[in-house]
Structure formats: C-alpha cells, structure tokens
Structure 1
Amino acid sequence: MHEFTPPRLAALGNQLIEIHDHLRDLLDDAADLPAFSRSLRAHCLAFCTALDRHHTGEERGMFQVLADRYPQLGPVIEELRHDHEQIAELIRRVEANPTKDELAGLAAVMESHFTFEEKRLVAALNQISPRSA
C-alpha cells in the first residue's frame, strides 16, 4: 500500500506511471508462459495481487488527496472507482481460470483504465508538493 507522506508526494504522477508500467510488464511476461501451466497460474496470482494492492492504495490514499485538493476531479475519481470494481471482477475470473483469453480481457480493460487515469490525474498529482501536503 502506498503511503502518502510529504516526501512520497513529490512527483507522484510520474511514480504512478512507473507503477503502471511495472504492472504492464508483469502482464506482458505472462504472455510468454505456456497456457494452463503452473507458471502461468502463479504469475497470474502474483499479478492480480499486485494490481489489487495498487488499486487499494489509490482508493485509500491518492483519491482522497486529489478529491480534497481538486474537487473538480470528483467525476473522474468516481469513474476510476467504477473501473476498479470492474477490474476486481475480472481479477476474480482470472484467479479462478487463468487462461490466455481471460488474461487478454483483463489486459485490455487494465490498459484502458491506466491510460485514462494517467491522462486525467498525472498533472494534478505532479502539482502536489511536499509543502502543500
């Protein structure tokens, strides 16, 4: 879970992109694993856990910081929360049946979510300085 202490807030938008890129890489790595293998199942579980942890951190910290400082982002934050619910459902499906098709579906939704989040939040996050936290 992300901690939102003043030093952590410096360039948080850039850090968000780095976290998303790491999650993208994890998912790309799964594409190289054999279907229905133990390795694919283990990789999917690790990826799903990391993605869930990332979204939980956003819900408990980042979204509240943004809502407090930028009330105009309220509709964006609500849409992202809705995305998190949809992604959580897809994660449950992948955990129950980690096939390449389920993973591809999750990847498509996740990429759309990450791209939207980056376009709408990174600039605001990068404006938050340790002095204003």
Structure 2
Amino acid sequence: MHPSDSPSARLTALGTQLIEIHDWLRDELARLRAGLDSPGGAGLTRELRAHCVGFCAALDRHHTGEDGGAFRVLADQVPELRPVLAELSADHKTVAAILTRVETLLAEGGDGRSVRAELDGLAGLLESHFTYEERKLVAALSRLTGDTVQLLGVAPPDDETG
C-alpha cells in the first residue's frame, strides 16, 4: 500500500486530493483540446470521441459528488462557506450545460470545430472555477473526514501510473 493510500492520510489530505483531481481534469481537457488540433486534421476520431465522453463523465461525477458529498458536509460544519458553496454549485450547473452540448455534438456527429469551441469555453470556466474553489475550500476540506469518492465524486489519479 502506498503511504498516501492509508485511511488517515486520505482523510487529512482531502484538500490536496481535490487539487490533484482538478489538475488531472485540467490535463485531460488540455489533451482533448490538443487532440482536436492534431496535424492532418484528423478531427474527432473514434478514440478522441471516447476520450471526450470519458472526460465529460468524470467531470460530471466530480461535480455531482461535490454537490452531494463535500459541499453538504461543509455547509453543515462550516456554515460561513454556504455562499461560496452556492456559487460553486451554480458553476456546476453551467458546466453541466456545456457538457450536455458537447455530448449532443458528439452524438449528432458534430465537427471538431464545434466541439473545440465548447471545450475552449469550458476550459476558461473550469480554470476560474477550480482556482476559486481551491482558494476557498482546500483548508476546510482538509479538516473533513470521509471517503474521497463519496465527498469529491472521484478518486485522485494514481500518480505512480503517471
């Protein structure tokens, strides 16, 4: 077992794990956007479509997990964060709408340019959202106890598979 995988390490490092999840999501979104810009104009290959669907699902699980897990716990334990949590949850709805548009484009055989435009808007929103969330919540999250997947929707990526 990796030392950071112990229950006590997971519980005390929830804020750090949030940052790891955000960094992984940032990297995956950057890979998607770069794939759409690949030389030769391959555009939305089957692999790129699958990667996009997987990314959208992971991002949705993360935000759904936060809304139903960590944010509820934080609202109870740290009531002064409720306005911040409400703002972040509103962002989650905006992100969900963008993900729905991306999924619709993929299902309807949309072109790479249309998907890229949605992903560019998503990247801007997510960077602002993640930065704000990290600045406002990391310390409070690190004081929580609980399971990462239950509280944040997904587990942090395994940095050993790098």
| Same fold (TM > 0.5) | yes
- Match of residue 25 from structure 1: 27
Equivalent AA in structure 1 for residue 144 of structure 2? I
Query: Bigger shift: 57-66 or 5-14?
Result: 5-14
Q: Distance in 2 between matches of 1:27 and 1:17?
A: 15
2:63 aligned with 1:55, yes or no? yes
- Match of residue 87 from structure 2: 79
What is the 5 A alignment of 1:1-133?
8-34=10-36, 35-97=43-105, 99-128=115-144
Offset at residue 95 of structure 1 (A) = 1.1
Offset at residue 37 of structure 1 (A) = 2.5
Q: Distance in 2 between matches of 1:13 and 1:49?
A: 22
Q: Distance in 2 between matches of 1:64 and 1:83?
A: 16
**Match of 1:15, SS?**
helix
Q: Deviations over 1:92-121 (max 9, x none)?
A: 111122521111111111111111100100
Query: Bigger shift: 32-41 or 43-52?
Result: 32-41
TM-score by length of 2: 0.71
Q: Aligned pair in 2 of structure 1 residues 6, 84: CA closer, same or farther (>3 Å)?
A: farther
> Is the Cα–Cα contact under 8 Å of residues 33 and 39 in structure 1 kept in the other structure?
no
Offset at residue 31 of structure 1 (A) = 2.2
Q: CA RMSD in A?
A: 1.9
Q: Distance in 1 between matches of 2:57 and 2:138?
A: 23
Q: Aligned pairs, how many?
A: 126
Moved over 4 A (4+): 5-8
Q: Distance in 1 between matches of 2:98 and 2:69?
A: 23
Q: What are the ranges of 5 or more consecutive residues in structure 2 without an aligned counterpart?
A: 1-6, 37-42, 107-114, 147-162
Q: Aligned pair in 2 of structure 1 residues 39, 129: CA closer, same or farther (>3 Å)?
A: closer
Equivalent AA in structure 2 for residue 87 of structure 1? V
